[in-house]
Structure 1
Amino acid sequence: MTTSKHVETQAIHSGRINDEQFGSLATPLYQTSTFIFDDAKQGADRFAGEAEGYIYSRLGNPTTRQLEMRVAAMEGMEDAAATATGMGAVSGALLANLQCGDHIISSKAVYGCSYALMSHMLTKFGIEVTFVDMTEPENIENAIQENTKVIFLETPINPNMVVLDLAAIAAIAKKHDIISIADNTFLTPVLQQPGQFGIDIVVHSATKYLNGHGDVVAGIICGSSEMIMNIKMTALKDIGATISPHDAWLILRGLKTLPIRIERHCENAQKVAEFLEGHEHIAQVYYPGLKSHPGNKFIGSQMKAAGGVIAFEIKSDLKGGEAFINRMKLFSIAVSLGDAESLIQHPASMTHSPYTQEERLEAGISDTLIRISVGLEHSDDLIADLEQSLAQINNQDNHQDVA
């Protein structure tokens, strides 16, 4: 395993399996459900934890293990657990650390399914949740109860790109002996490492940038060895949200180019955001790379760059927003992010539809909010695509007025 502290090197070398038999440069794919024991005693010893080795791929697999070790190294954390989906990572991290009667504090706006899990699912089992505006850390302090066990957050927040102070939130969590969990999907360990600021557990939807090719759904949980073992041996083992070896193998392939992909995503997104901010039909742009964004002050300290996701409000209504999206030619209408292709979606009706309208407005998600994932195409072509659709907004409005 490499001892390099540079994420570009870790993305290629960390956790490498030593294939002594054949010397394969590429990671071997152990596409097997179960593993053969030399004898009955070896099987018994492995089940008892008295001997090292693999038993069954739901409990561990050499290909999966390489992925876990690589992402853990990139995040600067001790260990990691790979999961079947990003929500498998979120639910695994939460369920392993909660029980009936416990309380969660979450950032006010989070991914729609994370919100639904906490507000609709966990409450069925006697777990309370309070959503607060974490841009003011005192709101977290004020929400803490005797039974508060977890603080959950995203930064930047999906979809409106609010940036939270990781060090301040982690300090509050440690002061009150509360586990802190941060979703780092939008920035990846290339741009942000929440563990460096005291966050206990970091989760990713590996579906997004870590894989980067739009052909996998997966998740990753990073943390201390003790926390990861607890998550693996409880929530993941018994609920079964573990990754397939083939998906782990695909993500390992994607990770090798993650740093250079992220660089291009950021370059393109900055140019697109600057174009949108100056356009007459755009009411507001939410992108931390812009000096007008409150989160811009964190670039260079908490985060290296602003990432590849932009949200913006168009000067229109819900139907106008739908028409704007439908006119796009290079941007594919699709949820998710982090692919080579640029994507565009409408959070209120798509990714954040689990929110009620009142909950969306409370979280700052309006009906005219558009979210784009800026891909790896040439920035001039992406800007031209946005321009041709924006240019038709007045024509469409005039047509509707006549009609």
Structure 2
Amino acid sequence: MIDLRLLRDDPDVLRASQRARGESESAVDDLIGADESRRTAVQHFEGLRAEQKQLGKQVPRATGAEKEALLARTKELSGEVKTAEAAVTEAEAALRAAQLRLSNVVEDGAPAGGEDDYVVLREVGTKPDIAEPRDHLELGELLGAIDVERGAKVSGSRFYYLTGVGALLQLGLLQMAIAQAVEYGLTPSIVPALVKPEAMEGTGFLGAHASEVYRLEADDLYLVGTSEVPLAAYHSNEILDLGEPVRYAGWSSCFRREAGSYGRDVRGIIRVHQFDKVEMFSYCRPEQAHDEHLRLLAWEEEMLAKVEVPYRVIDTAAGDLGSSAARKYDCEAWVPSQGRYREVTSTSNCTTFQARRLNIRYRDEAGKPQIAATLNGTLATTRWIVPILENHQRPDGSVTVPKALQPYLGGRDVLEPVKRS
């Protein structure tokens, strides 16, 4: 949610941000109008209330015709106050709706443009020289690790089973992510997978991304697509002690409808309806958010180094940011079978956008409540299995286990095929 002080002081900043995102500038003008309408309604209501209080003091002292006139005006005024109060409620609702329609202000330095206008910040690691790479699904089937046929039989397309070493690989990967998070002082958390509408709205997932979300109508609850949602809402309507950032690492199953991805990545487990993930989440003071963002990115890169896959870091263009993000960095791992990089992590600086919606605050040096900043970043997810299998494959279909992962897979250094290649 946008800070109304910024709207009043410098609306051109918001217009520039909307242009960078490729979104309508008229949303800014709509918000300006809603803000002015609310202030006018409040002033009118407060003027009537002041008159009402003044009459309340005059009536006991008045007599005769004067008292009758005052009583008549008091009765008349009572109706006007109720009407004005209702107008304030309506104006406040319109203002909130207008605020919710406006995306976060893009951070200075973020690339302008759309999905293809990202900037590559760095490439890390050496791409393996594999003459005819098998893809992750073929490897997973050879290893007895991935079963998409039975996933489709039981649940439909874009579902799958992880079995045998596939299940161990995911569990080991996520446990390694939690271990790293704990090492750096993050609080490990297993979070609810179902949340109320206000949690989903507060994090910005009921806007442009509403079609991606599963909703249980009978219960008016939503299945989360990331533990960012329950972690953000965890401290809603609270005042935090933010002498230092407060950080969590949430492990959850995640659910996405993939409504706009028909025909894309239908093979394997790159784009699926259900997966598991460890997500970092941080609350901090707004002036700390830029450095905190880079810290989360560094922790993501440390995890990628542990699984020994080549990757690149991109600075996502403004038009490809989610509505809550002011800046986003993606880490994309090399996928040999596709000959390209694919996203495996992202980290977003949401500044005060989510916390303003969720009423999450801290006290400044003067003891005055201020809006906190929130950030998130993926530390590991099911999709990582794709580059791990493909980059570490061997000609016979076996897969070398990265050294850091071996303790989490019972000491295995190689995953051997269970089916003939």
Question: What TM-score does the superposition give when structure 2 sets the normalisation length?
Answer: 0.23
Q: Which has the larger radius of gyration?
A: 2
Indicate the structure with greater strand content.
2
| TM-score with structure 1 setting the length | 0.24
Which has the higher relative contact order, 1 or 2, with Cα contacts under 8 A spaced 6 or more apart? 2
